[in-house]
A and B are shown apart, each in its own frame.
Chain A
Amino acid sequence: MVLIVVLLLRNFVDDPQEFINVFLIGLTTGCVYGLVALGYTLVYGILQLINFAHGDVFALCGLIASSIIADVLFLQRGDGALVLVGGLLLTLVMTMGFGATINASIEFLAYRRVRSQSRLTMLISAVGMSFIVQNIALIIYDVNFRSSPDLIPQRNAFTIGDVSMPWDKVAVVLITIPVLMMLTWLVRSTKQGKAMRATAQDQDAAAMMGINVNRTISFTFVLAGGLAGAAGLLFLSQFNMRYDTGFELGLIAFTAAVLGGIGNLTGAVLGALIIGFIQAFNEGLAIWTPGSDWTRSIVFGILIATLVFRPEGLLGERTPEGA
């Protein structure tokens, strides 16, 4: 721990501007991870299922978003600001809707029937579903990388000293925060949220209280799919993606969810930010870091360490069942 602080300080002193830039990259990536991680956490919270297909749904959404931008709405770089903002918002809504539909269909097709069987059955089914979704993306988009034109200008939104933050990164943060607040409100304060929490605790008891368990679970998948859709669009605005992007990113996001305490919404975002920073610092900082060759090992090392030493995560509560 001390070593890490020393490492960060050393890098900060050496090149503060670079450090803060890397920090901002970490913040952006962390936000995208957070949106995906929320999907994992929501589904795990209600079904105790690691929804392996989630990462691939995210990737498929991103690819679909690239199609919507390029081939449906014909958004281009030179369009007026109003057209762009409106177009992007429309894309966001469409992508979220697409993700929600896909995710709910997956639940209906692959998970609902095996819910009564052992958890392992559902998990294996999820692994299979992950490959199916990935191959759907492969069929539609082949192996090529897709990207979106730089719709959001790279102009700096604000500059403090030598450090600047471009608009496209601001947009990511601007979308993530309201989504998180909405989600928290939804789960904490609405009737549907109450139903979700009840179902998560005890499906049978919830059913006896007149909660439509199937519909509540479907609703959870719809939410998670919508989040994956939003994440897909945001990821697309920053990076290239192709059919298998979602697999690894999904694993990282899942790590984030576990790190923060799976089933805990705030925890998922916190964990995602931490993982985002770790990745950015590891890949971006010059001094004493292992470099991008090792990112995956570090992230999964964190995952294993979390599960072994603190399976309930940073913000989670220790459940009687253990981990």
Chain B
Amino acid sequence: MSPTGTIVVAALLIAVSPARTAEIPQAERRSGYSFMAPDTQAIQDDDTTNPGMLWVLDGEKLWNNKAGAAGKACADCHHEARASIKGVAARYPAFDKALGRPVNLEQRINLCRTGQQQAAPLPYESRDLLALTAFVAQQSRGLPIDAATDPQLEPFVAKGRELFMQRQGQLNLGCTNCHDDNWDKRLAGSAITQAHPTGYPLYRMEWQSLGSLQRRLRACITGIRAQPYDYGAPEMVELELYLMSRARGMPVETPAVRP
């Protein structure tokens, strides 16, 4: 083959090979739900078989319980949750003016507890915090995710995106290497999904419990043999924020069920 021919072939190869580490086109975005077997989907679809609903029921009780030195319940300020907090979870993580950075739904609940109720903050992944978060998020079920639209959040979304793209850990992998580049493949028999956090907090069969997005992120980070960030770390919230911005427009599924 002539040298010119070789160059042409090489140029063609570059042209046809798909662009790597690019975000998933809008039309190809899928929820983790669509990767599940029909049996697992059925568990999520029926509110009397979805174990996540047990936490929602507990959360509803907590919503109406008075707590802390102020002797106030969530319902005393927010009243009927079905109306007052509809759509709220779809906008989180949101910018907190006092802190000057984004807070996620769990942190927002704890800010309300320490500020308004004068109660102790609930520990991350505790049953009560998951229950309240699930109850609040369930009020947005079916509504399109509308996070990261606030211009004040832009630098934090950018930081989250950077973390998502950053290779790290002993396996030297970034989130993007699986969730953007290989979401149509499988990892040890499990579907690699697209990192659209549509249903958190969600019930994972593997956990036998409800869990937060941060728990999921920490599991992934440990999986690539990197040091996970602590619960509530700014980096975690920035990652959450970026992931929610990827899923903008997709419906909230909380409480979702995943294998």
B and A form one assembly: no
